[in-house]
Amino acid sequence: MGMKEHVQKFLQDDPSQAQVRGAHGFTNMFHAALSGNVEIAQILYDAGSTEGLGSALHAAIWQKNEAMLRWLLEHGADVQTRDYRGKTPLEAASEQENTTVVDLLKEFGAN
């Protein structure tokens, strides 16, 4: 993902596509977080794609994308969502020794 106009057209042609899962069963929001494109995340969210916000947090942490992380948190991502290793976003960020992300997660209730 990454081309705003293509995503908008895609959703305009078939709004139900906001809810489908992509490669490996990941949600569109997870893929948007991997791309780091907050505009795409907003387009998907506006189209009703709210599933997988918590998992998308992990993608934003992997990518070290603080803007995406903040956007996800502001849009209700669950800070206790565990990744495939059973780790919370706070645990994942702590492993990376990313104090900025750790502080941001704590600001949104992670413990």
Instruction: Provide the number of structural domains found in the chain.
Output: 1
**Domain containing 41 — which CATH number?**
1.25.40
Residue 92, in any domain of the structure:
no
Pairwise CA distance, residues 42 & 32, whole Å: 9
Listed range (6-10, 45-49, 54-58, 89-93) with the worst mean pLDDT? 6-10
For residue 37, give its domain range. Answer: 4-78
Residue 38, in any domain of the structure:
yes
Helix (H) or strand (E) holding 10: helix 4-13
Pairwise CA distance, residues 86 & 103, whole Å: 21
pLDDT digit string, tens, across residues 35-82: 999 999 998 999 888 888 999 999 999 999 999 999 999 999 999 999
Q: What's the predicted TM-score (pTM) here?
A: 0.87
